[in-house]
Structure 1
């Protein structure tokens, strides 16, 4: 509770040993508070937190055996890289010679074996992130907490570090809980994703299931783009019977765009087709997006750019079609 405001409400979550779990949500959803509760920086107003069956709700953060990586890295600026890694080992009473061996091995693992004598200010953002990860792992904690770990990096470096994080998780097998607002990061790294909204869990599932079969309109729109087919102009065709009180949803990459007069596809009997007018086209390197108006709604399509592909301009009439089996249903 923050005054009379409950930042997290009725949060019930079980994390499996060795999994990479990501808590995903927009600003104000409660994801950071959830991580602070797990880390011991915030005390729960009620309920319990258990690790391996043991309650730690009243245990202060410094007495919890955990590794933490912050968005700001939180490296000690007055210590060298090697001394930063040595610090948690020294706090645990490890002898100097053994500490040195651990530091050398860990620096080699994160490809910084020649950087042990440098100061954090002499490192790039990606190198500082590697040091922060190495420091969190070096004392072999049973679990790892990551708070927006890649948020301060540019896109290319962020993608590189996503690969490094996945590699470290496979190698060390640490139970890892990561907080982020970056959907791509969550989809890339996670075994499971918890989507939060308004201090509560909206849906928990694997990345594939969350993206392909979101339960609610919020999850569909937050985890990627979604076409919500609320349209009086045409009746949505689909396989099976939709659940009561749901809306039809279609991912943009499932929608194919073609000239109005183009020949029908070989599987046309399994598809629904409609005619619309292009209102906008966005070229994004590997992808091309169209905004197509169909009556009162705007549909988004997304296709991979290929040579010889027909390009449509605003004002062009096009045919959109999709497999009826690709239609999903979400609650409002």
Structure 2
């Protein structure tokens, strides 16, 4: 039988947070399911961090209620909420060794010394820091500090984990490694996780669902695949990856479905093929649309090539994987752009 939806563990019920006359979060209602990895994504000032701080108990909502496991926690202070938190700065105790950093939350929970030692040993083994227990945080790399911060948050077996842009201080390669580690830990522990980030790639990689916020409100909530492939608004389409908004074009927009009123046509760059002008028609040409343009720029990005192609008054961006023997088009060259009509999406303006 198909499994039903997981029960709600965390609920925001019409939550608003005001700072003077300015609303950081407006009438937010959101349900986080048990065991899921939910990412709150948005630009600076969208309210995403305020949502996390209210859930953690560091900030009180002005209106509405926050419910965890069926009980209101809006008036419960942070230190009385059973939760694990990883901050952007890691917030490790600089005067304590790695082992003592991990022991501290267990001491606060009254765990005896023998059990503490066992749990710390297991956790150090799990995060690949078995031989680092005696080191100070200053003696660790950024990635190692990140692992310690995650281990400290998880070692007390909290019912949920909060991540406040924990990977933003790492370089790209290390960030990608840590994304895999975070995903592995979530899979292993099965802990409900709420992450806040402005990094679209991180959100797409880690999340079961993504909440896109804008100006204190939820713009759209869905799975990573659905958000990327079927964005509801122009903002979501442009913020979550690149998007060609086909507005006021010099060519007719052809799609498999009629364009709803009040919407704009959109296509993702990787859905557009760049071929020689006058190239032979494909076998599925009746399902495609093609236009002629002039290459305005070609950007080489390792495994990818990006073309900026001017079609009349419109500038379209394409993205394709670079392959051996593949034709590279130069600036000023006439090319043909092709895409399936079924790849056109319509988004609210």
- 1:152 alignment partner, one of 137, 146, 169: 169
For residue 104 of structure 2, give the secondary structure of its aligned residue in structure 1.
helix
Structure 2 contact 293–337 (Cα < 8 Å) conserved: yes
The answer on 1:99 being equivalent to 2:116 is yes
1:46 aligns with 2:88: no
What SS does the corresponding residue of 2:92 show, helix, strand or coil?
A: coil
Using the size of structure 2 for normalisation, the TM-score is 0.94
Deviation at 1:261, TM superposition (A): 2.2
Q: CA RMSD in A?
A: 0.6
Cα deviation for residue 305 of structure 1 reads 0.2
Query: Which of 114, 130, 133 is the matching residue for 2:131?
Result: 114
How does the TM-score come out when normalised to structure 1?
A: 0.99
Structure 2 partner of 1:218: 235
Please point out which of 263, 279, 287 is paired with 1:246: 263
Structure 1 position 243, deviation (Å) = 1.7
Describe the SS at the equivalent of 2:23: coil
Match in the other structure for 2:204: 187
* Within-5 A mapping of 1:70-109: 70-109=87-126
Relative to structure 2, which stretch is displaced further, 229-238 or 205-214? 229-238
1:35 is the counterpart of 2:62: no
How far apart, CA to CA, are the structure 2 residues paired with 1:163 and 1:31? 23
* Rounded Cα–Cα distance in structure 1 between residues aligned with 2:249 and 2:50: 42
Residue in structure 1 matched with residue 319 of structure 2 by the alignment = 302
Structure 1 residue 173 corresponds to structure 2 residue 190? yes
Residues in 1 aligned to 2:314 and 2:170: alpha-carbon distance in whole angstroms: 37
1:189-213: per-residue Cα shift (whole Å, max 9, x none)?
0000000000000000000000000
In the TM superposition, residue 264 of structure 1 has moved relative to its aligned partner by: 1.8
Counterparts of 2:23 and 2:77 in 1: how far apart (Å)? Answer: 21
In structure 1, runs of 5+ residues without a counterpart are: none
Report the Cα offset of residue 242 of structure 1.
Answer: 2.0
1:327 positional shift? 0.3
C-alpha displacement of 1:232:
3.8
Do the aligned residues in 1 keep the contact of 2:249 with 2:314 (CA within 8 Å)?
no
Number of matched pairs = 332
> 1:3-42, CA deviations, whole angstroms, 9 ceiling, x for partnerless residues?
1111000110000000000000000000000000000000
* Deviation larger for 152-161 or 229-238: 229-238
> Once the two structures are superposed, what CA deviation does each residue of 1:210-258 show, in whole Å capped at 9, x if it has no partner?
0000000000000000001113411100002222211100000000001
Quick one: distance in 1 between partners of 2:258 and 2:119? Answer: 59
Conserved 8 A contact 2:46-2:216: yes
1:2 positional shift:
1.3
Q: Which has the higher strand share?
A: 2
For 1:317, the equivalent position in structure 2 comes to 334
Moved more, 258-267 or 271-280: 258-267
1:98-150 deviation line (CA, Å, top 9, x unaligned): 11111000000000000000000000000000000000000000000000010
Higher RCO (CA-CA < 8 Å; seq separation 6+)? 1
Q: Which residue of 1 aligns with 2:7?
A: none
SS of residue paired to 1:204: strand
2:151 matches 1:134: yes
Residue number in structure 2 paired with 1:143 = 160
